[in-house]
């Protein structure tokens, strides 16, 4: 059995260290590296690794927040890599997790990998994931969609603005940021808010019955869709009530069905 591993650390030398040590583990395949939390969330959801080496301290989004943003069903086995004091991390051990205290030794690294190997071989990934959720305080209530947003919190220089979901018209990607277009009516005031968030992360936390990702870079509020326009060469447009139109990579019939059977 091959264990598919992802390395997440904002320090290139730290990622290189983990990769070199994994070269001594013949059953472990490194499927990718991430240098920040936003990229890590996207990669975990896209590649579904068995094992993640995750730095706790990273700018903008730390390792704990990365795991809070990953859907419960996709939570992998996690080995934390951290400079935190060892005694502060004893709680990890009772939650079927492990950690490597930087700078870690090869023998300690092998022990952590062996522990993860045992959990994966015994199909105890789900047990470990539940322990991880409990540790993070994210155990979902029965029948509740974990991590589903009810409002967007937008940070500015001096305050935090809460945007109601029904006010959102569309969300557009802008690199590692997202631009949230907000407006109450076709003729009312419209605003743009900038979020330090990826489209994949937003899509996973927005209610799917209300929001639809129509392309790699655009999510729309389905209540705001006015028209669907077929174009040339298989291209289609989604037209919103505010008059803004976006090209879509989804078939018009698929979008139509989603709107009809909501």
Show the domains of the chain with their CATH numbers: 3-136 (3.40.50.2300), 151-260 (2.40.50.1020)
pLDDT in tens, 187-243: 556 789 988 777 877 887 888 889 999 998 999 999 999 999 988 766 789 999 999
pTM (2 decimals)? Answer: 0.53
Q: What is the pLDDT of residues 94-139, one digit of tens each?
A: 343 677 888 889 999 999 999 889 888 776 555 555 555 555 554 4
- Considering the chain, what is the average pLDDT of its residues? 81
Per-residue pLDDT, 139: 41
Average pLDDT score over residue span 62-75: 82
DSSP secondary structure string, the chain?
A: -PEEEEEE-S-HHHHHHHHHHHTT-TTEEEEEEESSHHHHHHHHHHH--SEEEEES--SSS-HHHHHHTS-GGG--EEEEEE-S-GGGGHHHHTTT-EEEESSPPHHHHHHHHHHHHHHHHTT-HHHHHHHHHHHHT-PPPTT--TT--SEEEEE-SS-EEEEEGGGEEEEEEETTEEEEEEESSTTS-EEEEEES--HHHHHHHS-TTTEEEEETTEEEEGGGEEEEEE-GGG-EEEEETTS-EEEESS-HHHHHHHHHT-
């Amino acid at each position: 059995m091959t264990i598919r591993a992802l390395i997440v650390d904002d320090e290139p030398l730290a990622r290189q260290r983990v990769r070199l040590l994994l070269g001594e583990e013949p059953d472990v395949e490194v499927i990718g590296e991430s240098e920040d939390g936003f990229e890590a969330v996207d990669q975990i959801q896209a590649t579904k690794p068995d094992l993640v080496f995750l730095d706790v301290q990273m700018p903008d989004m730390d390792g704990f927040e990365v795991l809070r943003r990953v859907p419960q069903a996709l939570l992998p086995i996690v080995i934390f890599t951290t400079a935190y004091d060892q005694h502060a991390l004893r709680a990890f051990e009772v939650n079927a997790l492990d950690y490597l205290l930087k700078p870690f030794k090869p023998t300690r690294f092998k022990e952590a990998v062996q522990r993860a190997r045992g959990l994966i071989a015994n199909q105890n990934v789900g047990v470990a994931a539940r322990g991880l959720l409990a540790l993070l305080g994210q155990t979902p209530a029965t029948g509740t969609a974990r991590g589903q947003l009810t409002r967007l919190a937008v940070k500015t220089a001096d305050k935090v603005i809460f945007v109601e979901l029904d006010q959102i018209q569309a969300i557009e990607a802008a690199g590692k940021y997202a631009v949230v277009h907000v407006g109450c009516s076709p003729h009312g005031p419209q605003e743009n808010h900038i979020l330090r968030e990826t489209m994949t992360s937003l899509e996973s936390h927005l209610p799917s019955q209300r929001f639809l990702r129509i392309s790699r870079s655009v999510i729309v509020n389905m209540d705001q869709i006015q028209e669907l326009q077929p174009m040339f060469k298989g291209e289609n447009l989604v037209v919103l009530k505010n008059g803004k139109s976006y090209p879509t990579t989804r078939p018009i019939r698929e979008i139509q069905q989603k709107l009809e059977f909501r």
